Structure 1
Amino acid sequence: MGGKITEIDTVSLDEANKALVIIDQTKLPGQIQMLSLTKAKEIWDAIYLLQVRGAPAIGVAAAIGMYVLASRYEVDDYDAFYAAFCRDKEYLDSSRPTAVNLSWALKRMEGVVTAHANEDIPAIVDALHQEAMVIRDEDIAVCHKIGEYGMELLKPGDGVLTHCNAGKLATVRFGTATAPIYLAEENDYHLHVFCDETRPLLQGARLTAFELQESGVDTTLICDNMSAMVMKNGWVNAVFVGCDRVAANGDTANKIGTSVVAAVAKQYNVPVYICAPTSTIDMATATGDDIVIEERKPEEIAEMWYEKRMAPENVKIFNPAFDVTDHELIAGIVTEYGVARTPYTESLKAIMDNKQKRV
């Protein structure tokens, strides 16, 4: 497919064919390939295999996916419809456990079904369509607001370091951690961005560096173990990263290696900002110790990016997808309702209370 990645929504709905459409991120940066998904197994695989990834994008994909699946149920009564819906909902929810947006979006869609229990099936399906589009539009608006608040933390000429991909490819549009960068560039800040490669799946190298460079941002790709050097050299004024789950005390789960970046940043007095839509804030999770960390296949480390196996056969491999950054290492959590500061138990609660008032 031709065109620029920045001109294509990461997740969308093919209205005519009632299909979930995503950019296959496993093919990037070499090929821009769109996938059209209509079956539960296809959607589950897309989430698990990281064809669609990033907490916000996963949530939107799950919402649209549930509408797509529900629109194909061949049932006439509510009980049968709800049973089929719950089966698919639980199945999709099992694809990735750490990102709270997945279960959050699925619960919202289920709430639509139960709220319309007294209506006929076509009306329920139509309501699911509307909610999926609301979730999608909310993501776009939320990311733009995060960009506005995040840009206030930057000044012209700053160097920024980011880890993994919290760019447009992790959302429908704009991104979370990259939204301040894109808005700053629109305002002639002329930032310089360092992208950690992000082992073992190389999201920083394949995705963030790709989309930033295509967008005209001054970008330098570095290996994960080079972050200390660029900070020590004074080339980084702030770290902006995304997040898959925020605990009530401000601990955050993000792509593996984020906690290392935060610890190094503390050593060199570089502020770390977590860009987190309120949909990723889980007030029911007290601390980062309570976050379930997904472990992935050892082949991602030993074989995935190599012509021949890189590691010895039968060596033990530990491959957690995420780690938890302690709240004490975080200078601020940037949400669509403003920037939370320590103590996070109070500031996050205030933001969530504010959100509830506006709903």
Structure 2
Amino acid sequence: MIDTDYYLSPVMVNYFVHSAIGRGRRNMFLATTATQDFGNQGLSYAKLALINAEKIMNTSAAFAQPGGQTQANMIHLKADQIVGEWRDSTYGIGGGRIPYDVNTALVPAALRAISTLSAAGFYPSHPEWNTTAAEYAQVWEDNTLQFFQVTVPVSEAKTLVTNYTAEAGYGFPSHAANITSDVVYHGLSLMGNDNQPIVKVMNSDDCFRHFLLNSTNQTQLTAFVNQTANNILQPFPVGLSNPVGMLVANPAYGGDAVYAANWTNSAYHGTVVWSWPMAMMAAGLQRQLGRCADSSPPDFCADSNVHGNVLAAYNHLWDIIEANTPDLSTEVWSWLFQDGKFVVEPLGALPGATEGDIRQLWSLTFLAVMRDSNLR
């Protein structure tokens, strides 16, 4: 897995910098010595954190240099692996080599965290990271989304959704009449199977950026939060909204029958609902809306159409979440279309599917995520 490298520094900031309890435990934690023999035995946690940060700084440097904003300099899956982030099934990111979530959110979030940790004295051998990591983060924040953006004109979008509905064969309506403007989303990955430049699957991974970043490119931020809101508000297969939850993938705009075949309601990372991305999206939208109370709020807060759209998406998402409360502690679940409506179906009950598992922390995310009644 490549994504796990990028979680440590944001967690360290949240606990050891922003938490009073964590600050009191910092020295004890950093002095702890690794005991497991994974090649790390005998190293202090301070040394391991430094190794992690050095790797991130080194692998992100090329993209951050003047003129370095190319696909070649982005973070790729390991050469001999077909998976490397949370969508770790065969067609999870469509065979892509450059994942959306890692490059547009996890890398810049880790860099921001390294900058903060450096300023707090965590890396005494690299005091320059306070500035350098922040500079790298800015470049990654501002220059990665464009690689993944897909814009589908109205007439083409209607055709694609209508064709997908027929190819999928479940009998649900296309809702194509809902499409009144260009459909904008960000693909799952780059360099996909069968020479696909972008894996054209609308998805829920915008949540990483909303939850982990407070980006400052105002034009980009306004457009990004707005397209996320649009896709949450629109019903599947136009968007991600479904009575059983927010779907993690919608292949309707792929333009090839292979999309309908690979992202199904029985695929582990197909047109299914995962609990923790839904929680992250809810928390991420809340964080972005919360920025509107800052002394220098983002521009989208003053745009009544966009702010209203994001607020509507937040509440629509929470309405769906609350309607599916009995299933929120399940890792993943699916649906059937019966008698003209979508109904919850355990993923493991479908042919060839994988069973969802409650016995892991990310199946219990909603214990820590609650609706903000002030945003109703």
In the superposition, the TM-score normalised over structure 1's length comes to 0.31
**Greater relative contact order structure (CA < 8 Å, 6+ sep):** 1
Q: Which has the higher helix share?
A: 2
TM-score between both structures, scaled by the size of structure 2: 0.30
Structure (1 or 2) with the greater strand fraction: 1
